Amino acid sequence: MQDRPTLQALALFAAVIRHGTMTAAAEAVGISQPAISAQIRVLERHYNTRLLQREDRGSFPTPAGRLVAGYATRVVALVDELERAVAELENLSTGALVVGASTTVGEHLLPTYLGRFHLTHPAVRLSMKIGNSAEATRMVVDRALDFAIVGQQPADPDLLVEPVLRDRIVAFVAPGDPLLDATPIDPPALCGRQFVMREMGSATRALAETCLSRASCGPGHVIELGSNEAVKRAVEAGLGIGLLSTHAIEAERMAGLLHDLPIAGWRCGRSFWLIQRRDRTLTRAAQAFLALLPRQP
């Protein structure tokens, strides 16, 4: 049988690409830098090509190195998946559950379901990785996550996609904003005003812009911020009209720190989407968690 690269060599090479230098990768995985160099030399001899271009400011993959790194990342992820599946084969008394989520659903909806899961499976270790919808989707595609719940339906044919939770985007302003004196607001009255929104790549931002366009309302200027919290604080400071999930402003609404801005004819609803790779088997922990989520008809 032909000799094949070891899993350790592939994992170490992927770590070097992920961390940017052999020194950083060695510190992250807890072995010496010469040991990593030796494993990469083995890979380069096996494939008969250079995989890394070494420079003063770091190690950069050659075209062959980028190809090997992509496969190495997927191989290591599959082995990790196998380890989890075998560990959970008998019951849910051990193991881990990593939930992927876009910002809004991760911050405001999923903690409730994680709490319910923990009550029935207290021995399972819980964690959640949060990014915007584009980032969370990429982690699923790259096998860094078993599944994620995101605010924008992806079109990737390699993914299974299912609607699970409902949401709506609302406009809101700080207390005392003059716009509150004339509600509901006619959409043209908002044209040219300053809005505060999430960053590009956020499903909340994409839907908010779609709904504004549908209402024939074009912002005069957009302050772009990278989190729901930053958007809320900016609106509290009087920097403009905010557009976020209704769930994201619930606490501030109850405290009187932010007020909904009713807009005539405003309809801006959406589903959150459960996404997973078609070729990936979910762990029993993941299956048990997802069974808690309400499905959309």
Mean of pLDDT values over 194-210: 93
Q: Are residues 24 and 77 in the same domain?
A: yes
The verdict on residue 296 lying in a domain is no
What is the pLDDT, as a whole number, of residue 87? 67
40 within 8 A of 12, measured Cβ to Cβ: yes
The verdict on residue 49 lying in a domain is yes
Give the lowest-confidence range in 7-16, 75-84, 121-130, 283-292. 75-84
Q: Are residues 205 and 283 in the same domain?
A: no
Q: Are residues 258 and 179 in the same domain?
A: yes
What is the pLDDT, as a whole number, of residue 258? 97
Domain boundary among 49, 67, 86: 86
Residue 2 has pLDDT above 80, yes or no: no
The rounded distance, in Å, linking the Cα atoms of 203 and 103 is 9
Residue 1 has pLDDT above 60, yes or no: no
What is the pLDDT, as a whole number, of residue 195? 97
Residue 208 has pLDDT above 90, yes or no: yes
Residue 83 has pLDDT above 90, yes or no: no
The verdict on residue 284 lying in a domain is yes
Secondary structure of the chain in HEC code, one letter for each residue: CCCCCCHHHHHHHHHHHHHCCHHHHHHHHCCCHHHHHHHHHHHHHHHCCCCEEEECCEEEECHHHHHHHHHHHHHHHHHHHHHHHHHCCCCCCCCEEEEEEEHHHHHHCHHHHHHHHHHHCCCCEEEEEEECHHHHHHHHHCCCCCEEEECCCCCCCCEEEEEEEEEEEEEEECCCCHHHHHCCECHHHHCCCEEEEECCCCHHHHHHHHHHHHCCCCCCEEEEECCHHHHHHHHHCCCCEEEEEHHHHHHHHHHCCCEECCECCCCCEEEEEEEEECCCCCCHHHHHHHCCCCCCC
Residue 90 has pLDDT above 80, yes or no: no
> Which residues are CB-neighbours of 77 under 8 A, at least 6 positions away?
142, 143, 144
The verdict on residue 1 lying in a domain is no
Average pLDDT, whole number, for the chain?
Answer: 89
Q: Are residues 253 and 277 in the same domain?
A: no
Q: Are residues 257 and 181 in the same domain?
A: yes
| Digit-coded pLDDT (tens) for 262-293 | 999 999 999 999 999 998 888 888 999 999 99
> Which residues are CB-neighbours of 74 under 8 A, at least 6 positions away?
142, 143
Q: Are residues 155 and 246 in the same domain?
A: no
Q: Are residues 13 and 26 in the same domain?
A: yes
Band the pLDDT of 239: cuts 50, 70, 90.
very high
Structural domain count of the chain? 3
Q: Are residues 43 and 117 in the same domain?
A: no
Domain boundary among 86, 102, 127: 86
| CATH at residue 129 | 3.40.190.10
Residue 68 has pLDDT above 80, yes or no: yes
The verdict on residue 241 lying in a domain is yes
Mean of pLDDT values over 126-131: 94
Residue 89 has pLDDT above 60, yes or no: no
Residue 85 has pLDDT above 80, yes or no: no
Q: Are residues 205 and 265 in the same domain?
A: yes
Residue 114 has pLDDT above 70, yes or no: yes
The verdict on residue 71 lying in a domain is yes
Domain of residue 65 covers: 7-86
Q: Are residues 102 and 149 in the same domain?
A: yes
Residue 241 has pLDDT above 90, yes or no: yes
Q: Are residues 18 and 42 in the same domain?
A: yes
The verdict on residue 2 lying in a domain is no
- Residue 190 Cα distances to 80, 184, 200, 208, 218, angstroms: 51, 11, 21, 14, 8
What is the pLDDT, as a whole number, of residue 183? 78
Q: Are residues 187 and 260 in the same domain?
A: yes
| Digit-coded pLDDT (tens) for 153-199 | 999 999 999 999 999 999 999 999 999 988 789 988 888 899 999 99
* Entry pTM: 0.66
Amino acid code (one letter) for 291:
A
